[in-house]
Amino acid sequence: MKRLLVFILLGPVLFVLCIWVLFLPVASLVQGGPVRFNIEVDSYVAVLLGLMFGGFALALVDWLADMLALRPWLTALIGWVFGALTIGTWFDLSQPIGWWFVVKGLLVGIPALLCSWLVKRLQPVPVPAP
């Protein structure tokens, strides 16, 4: 339950922070001017539900990778792939350079890594029986 709450509630917040703090400043420097969002939405509820569904999908990946030692990194890698494939057309960039897909993947990969790490820290450590 903690995993779902962290990924569904904190994941979208970290995603938006990554856009504002990481992506938009770097994209503005590379483009030499402001970068526009190329998203037309009728409802912010639809955007929120979409972000929450993405958080749910990454929580499912994190749950499946629960027994792995590198679970946060695997979740971040799956998040990176998900972000690189889906966010490709959201921003109006004049130069579609290949490394932009790396940066766009990081917009999902970084929040996935942080959420998975936080869930791992919140889980109780099993004590072996004497």
**Structural domains counted in the chain:** 1
pLDDT average, residue stretch 77-93? 74
Long-range own/partner contacts, residues 26-35 (CB < 8 A, 24 or more apart): 26/103, 27/91, 27/93, 27/100, 27/103, 30/95, 31/93, 31/94, 31/95, 35/91, 35/92, 35/93
> Which element (helix H / strand E) includes 82?
helix 71-86
Determine, yes or no, domain membership for 130: no
Determine, yes or no, domain membership for 111: yes
Determine, yes or no, domain membership for 129: no
User: What is the distance of C-alpha 66 from the center of its chain?
Assistant: 18
Three-state secondary-structure class, residue 92: strand
Which pLDDT tens digit goes with each residue over 16-32? 888 888 877 877 787 77
pLDDT at site 57: 87
Please give the model's pTM, rounded to 2 decimal places. 0.75
CA distance 77 to 126: 27
In which domain, by residue range, is 11 found?
2-122
Which pLDDT tens digit goes with each residue over 86-96? 776 665 555 66
